[in-house]
Amino acid sequence: MEMFRAPEAAADVNAAAHSRVATATSERGEVVLLRRGDDGALELRVNGVFVMDTVHTSSERLLATTALTASLAGRAPGAPVRVLIGGLGLGFTLQEVLADRRVTAAHVVEIEPAVVRWHQEGLVPDTAGAFGDKRVEVTVGDVREVLARLDPTSVDVLLLDVDNGPGFLVHDDNAGLYRREFLELCREKLVADGCLAIWSAGPSAELESMLGAVFADSQQVAIPVVFGERATTYHLYIARKHV
């Protein structure tokens, strides 16, 4: 089972082919923004784990579009649409959310202060501009804690992309995000026709079954991804509160 995003790109962080754009240390470890020498792409690594680059972004974008499609199909035009995104990363999910003009508010929660700062400083040109959008609110914190503080039924679409999936966590503490208690919290915060979508590198029968137990409807969507001459499949888990 493939557990990394773009694993062939996850070379030694100190290799000559990489240059460090920015580095920060948090209580969770080192966060690094790298520029690859071969193709000029940016990479984000958290605590030694490759989490994202600026080349292979289709599945992070599909996280947004698939969930918005599942949730908003029956909505009246002009109705408010509030999206909460767990994990800013390099900003591609946020950028895709903002491209949907039906979205009236996008709240991004990112645990690493440095990641937010790097966007504000313009170090991620591929998704620059997202923070300037009037619909965006950014909170530095753990998505579990931020979500817990929100009012019930105050979120239309909830997007989670904080790990490489439940089988490959960036932080051990994130294990709780895939447990029943947190999934029930997500359900509580969603409006009646709201939708939760979770990104995962590998398939997870456990997550699929848990979502099936908590939500009225859930499905696993396989996303084929090609890295040069190699192909793999990533997964989205889409769960709706009511059918």
Closest contact distance (angstroms) between CB of 171 and ligand SAM is: 5
The footprint of ligand SAM (CB under 6 A) covers 46, 51-52, 60, 86-93, 109-112, 115, 142-143, 161-162, 170-171, 174
Residue whose beta carbon is closest to ligand SAM: 89
Longest Cα–Cα distance in the chain? 54
Residue 81's CB is within 10 A of a number of other CB atoms, namely 23
Q: Phi-psi region for residue 53, left (φ > 0), alpha (ψ -120 to 50) or beta?
A: beta
| 224 DSSP β-pair partners | 233
Query: Given 53, 142, 156, 161, which residue is catalytic?
Result: 161
Residue 173's CB is within 10 A of a number of other CB atoms, namely 12
Nearer to ligand SAM, 142 or 156 (CB): 142
Are the CB atoms for 72 and 78 separated by under 8 Å?
Answer: no
Nearer to ligand SAM, 111 or 214 (CB): 111
Closest contact distance (angstroms) between CB of 228 and ligand SAM is: 20
Nearer to ligand SAM, 169 or 217 (CB): 169
* 161 included as an active-site residue: yes
Closest contact distance (angstroms) between CB of 93 and ligand SAM is: 4
Closest contact distance (angstroms) between CB of 197 and ligand SAM is: 11
Nearer to ligand SAM, 123 or 217 (CB): 123
Distance CA 118, CA 6 (A): 22
Residues 6 or more apart whose CB falls under 8 angstroms from that of 74 comprise: 193
Tokens of 10: 């996850």
**Which are the catalytic amino acids?**
161
